[in-house]
A and B are shown apart, each in its own frame.
Chain A
Amino acid sequence: MRLIRFEDWAKPIAPARREVLSATPEVDEGKPPVLFVPGFGHGAWAFAEFWLEHTAGRGFPAHAVSPRGHGGSADGSGASLRAYAHDVVQAAASLPRQAVLVGQGAGALVVERALARYPARAAVLLAPVLGGWATFGAALRGNPGGTLPAIFGGRLRLSRRQLFSRGVPDAVARGYTERLGRASARAQWQLLLHRAPEPPVGDPPVLVMGSPDDRVVPASALTRAARRYGGAPLLFPGMGHDMMLDTRWQEPIDAILDWLEKGGS
């Protein structure tokens, strides 16, 4: 717990227009809102595809935020991880009730940082890209052409093979990869080199989920992430990195909502 926050005090993040897509249940059952945070290059649209409606259908108000520079949000060139986390905290604090944060891919890295500034009700790290050399190595081996330019500030390009399982039809997968944008060069570098996040405030339960067949996040990284929060990862074999867009998208989101209904622990 760090009380002295000169960076927050002396250099607050400037506001930027944020895109938040929502789906709300027809009847308010008092369930907590769920805020989805997409990974680098993705926008809120990735969750609008299937998960938002499904979540709302099960009685949870569902929202997805695009961090600056992503999706329909304002330009975010030069944005840091701190700016992305700021966008997530702002979106969460604007909801009427205490929210659950769900971060996918590098969005999990952003959610970790947001948890240090907002007492979420619970958090889910989904196929979390928390940086580190193992993840970098896997990306270099699996997709050298898309990864190398990022070292020099170019765009990190993820391929269809990295993101989706074979079950996703080619045309559909191409449609998704064509919609991908990019994170700022600074944030991409911060994937590799960043300070460890401050501990979460309010001690929320944290669930780590992923797939052993994810070509972006090695199984060892998943286990390490889960261990940090005192648990084991919940695994969905056969799925790709973008679990919310895969053919079997319903399994992980149902698992998340079941976990929340059981009190999230």
Chain B
Amino acid sequence: MKRIGKYLLFGVLFLWTAVAFGQDGTLTARSSRTTVGLNEQFRITFSTTERGGEIQPPAFENFLIVGGPFSSQQTQIINGSVNFQRELTYQLMPKEQGTFNIPPATLKSKNGTLKSNTLEIVVKAGAVREDPMAERAKDAFNVEILTSKKSVYVGEPLVLLLRAYWSKPLRNLNIVQTPNFEGVLQNQLDVQQRERREVIDGKNVTVLDFDKKLLTPTQPGTLGGQELKMSAQLQVRTGRADFWGMPEVTFIPQVATAKIPAVTIKPLPSPSPAGFSGAVGELKLERSLSRTEVSGNESITLKIRISGTGNFNTISVPELIAPQGFDVYDPKFNEKIDYTTSGVRGYKELEYLLVPQFKGNFILPEMRWNFFNTKTEKYEEIVLAEESLVVLSGAEAPASMSPTDGMTLQKREVKDIDSDIRYLQSVEDSGTNRGLLWKLIGVLGITTLLLWGLQGIKMGGKAPSLQAAMAKEKKQVLFAFEKGDADRFGLMLNTLENRLIARGMTKEGLQKSALIEAFGPDQGAQLHQLMELCQMAQYAPGAIRDDTQVLNEFKAIWEWI
């Protein structure tokens, strides 16, 4: 019974699931309004009965997303019928006038891919509703972009301050669209986001500076880009009173827009001078020394500083041309820069420590630095003159350099020269002409090369044929006999033995029997006799009276061997 009950329970659950989840999935899109005015907000909602999968919204190309996505889901059971639905909602605001289609959203689930319907939205300029409360909220919320200058040169920095102010209480302050600038380098600056009260156009307003940017134009023209848009919900009175007689309020959504300020970007005069550092502004270059006279165990602190108003974000302090005779340590970098709406002001500084190595007078070299002065609208060169550094004690190095006329020939004092320097040497003319020697080497080199060519040794060529090798060996024997060499019989014996070895016989096996076996009884015996004769002649040269007979016998044997 228990088992039957269990099966029944499973069966009921299966049927309920089939009813509950077996329905066909749908995905629909709907809009809170089909006709909207510019700067009015509306909602787009995508609904589905599918439990699985994620709703992929379309690209809202002509609209700004000012809120969302907000998701919700609900399950209803009415008369045993289960209905499930989930939704995804976006709050949008149109960017421009016209008629626009919002493409379908998609949902991928186990039942396949679902697509929603397309929505048509008409955006009109004058479609703003005649709402008295909206009228009250109008002009109560504003944004603006403040700029430090209206006209700058390429490379001259510009500070932008993004500000919002409102005269009625508000909530949900949001940046809908951040301005993006074209043709500039952007740096984000720190800003303290603190609300304060001010009077603007005779109205008491709350002001919030919420963003600060440093722009460095890289090309001439006019500053351009996308405008700033912010949304907020402003608190306005409905005109009604509540139960206790207190005025009733409501929140009206508002969007405020600020255009990019008109800033003219002027090009730098061309051509720029050689060595132009890229610095633009009202700048000064200074060099300061803690002292100019030191003893050997003291040090000098040297500072090079650029100060004033200018593009401190991109310029660097010119490096020190190190004076000779000092150890110069890696500099310490100091800076203090204020980014205000009146510009970028401050200084950048390199601080060097110079430690003298030797006693003597040394020159701190002249420094030149070019920049573009925005006040005079001209390139200017700052020259820091040479200075003399005197080291009063330390290791001996009597080197002196004129601080005022460093490029003229300045003779050094050479003390103790007579006792230290060695005297002149006698000049010997070896008479060798290296050029002639190289020519002789060249001539001899060519001669050697030619002689090598005449040797007949073929480098990398084919091995000589058997006939050619035999002819050469025979020729050498004949040549030795012709000259009457003492070793002619030895050469003949070696030649014969080498030939027999080349035929596959071993030197130890050159016996009469082996020769008869190889060449037959007559020729084998003849060959053996000649070899015996040669061997004997090596030890008793006088035993052979007639070389010609032996030579003829050799020639005959050589033909068939």
A, B in one complex:
no
Q: Which residues of B contact A (CB under 8 A)?
A: none
**Residues of A at under 8 Å CB distance from B?**
none
